[in-house]
Structure 1
Amino acid sequence: MAHPRMFDDDDPVLARVRAIALALPDAAEKVSHGRPAFFTTKVFAYYGGSLKVDGEWVQHPHSIIVQPDGADREALVQDPRAFVPAYLGPSGWVGVDLDERTDDVELAELLEDSYRQTAGSRRVARLDQPPR
């Protein structure tokens, strides 16, 4: 049984996430479990997530779920916008709620850091090349 679609293509926050994520080397998008997922060989970010609070599912529809490195993860979970998502949280993933005021520089840093954790050394090397 397919998962229901849990996003709106007209979402302006999703449009910003897409623009930044898909600018990374070889990045692509697919729908996974009803949500946009950004990947190369492995997923480096999801748009939207949820967690269970007191037995009830709490949705975070305007968020990104990323996999920061260990040192950054500890700082990120202290951010009041952060949450540990269901299923992926135990593997080190962190969700961050977004809105129209979220800074594009911060958004790009979160996505790039997660990309660096999953993309492989050749893609990361391309990321580090100076622009032509």
Structure 2
Amino acid sequence: MEHPQVIDPGHPLVERIRAICLAYPEAVEVEAWGRPTFRAGKKIFVTVSASMDHPFTFVFKPAPGERLAYLEEPRFYSPPYWGPGGWLALEIDAPDTDWVRVAEIIDTSYRQVALVRQITALDSAGGQNGPERLV
């Protein structure tokens, strides 16, 4: 059964998330469940569009201890299917979206699933791989 496309992969918000995600070592984009997913090798670190009702969101894996703090903010929520595993979603269609923060969240999510060699490659460039350089 083929899933319907949840969001246009060429939408500017998807393009912006794509640019951030694909800058990571061994990051690839794979369409799954009608959505763009970004993976560190085989492991997903970002999925665009938490649900049909929330297409302009992205799903990420927060660092341990950050989840509850994020949930205190209205743009963050526990998405269907992913939420029970500790993942969160963030609304990104607001004009005041803080893209430096989005990049920092993506960086953390990548580090939660990446292999040691991928994190080593990321960190080997020193400060040149900071998330703020990606926005």
TM-score, scaled to structure 2: 0.86
Q: 2:80 aligns with which of 76, 81, 86?
A: 86
- Structure 2 counterparts to residues 42-57 of structure 1, below 5 A: 42-50=43-51
Moved more, 8-17 or 24-33: 8-17
Q: Does structure 1 conserve the Cα–Cα contact (< 8 Å) formed by 2:50 and 2:57?
A: yes
Q: In structure 1, how many angstroms separate the alpha carbons of the residues matched to 2:77 and 2:32?
A: 20
Distance in structure 2 (CA, Å) of the matches to 1:42 and 1:9: 20
Contact 2:9 2:36 in 1 (8 A): no
Q: Which runs of 5+ in 2 are unaligned?
A: 130-135
CA–CA separation in structure 1 for the residues paired with 2:122 and 2:83: 26
Structure 1's unaligned 5+ residue stretches are 51-57
Q: Deviations over 1:18-68 (max 9, x none)?
A: 000000111010111111100022000100013xxxxxxx71101110001
- Calculate percent identity across the aligned residue pairs: 38
User: Could you say which residue in structure 2 is the equivalent of 1:6?
Assistant: 6
Normalising by structure 1, report the TM-score: 0.88
Distance 1:84 1:66 in 2: 10
Task: Report if the CA contact (8 A) 2:21-2:38 is conserved.
Answer: yes
Bigger share in strand: 1
Over the aligned positions, Cα root-mean-square deviation in angstroms equals 1.5
The 4+ residue runs of structure 1 with deviation greater than 6 A are none
Instruction: Tell me how many residue pairs correspond in the alignment.
Output: 125
SS in 1 for 2:48: strand
Equivalent residue for 1:53?
none
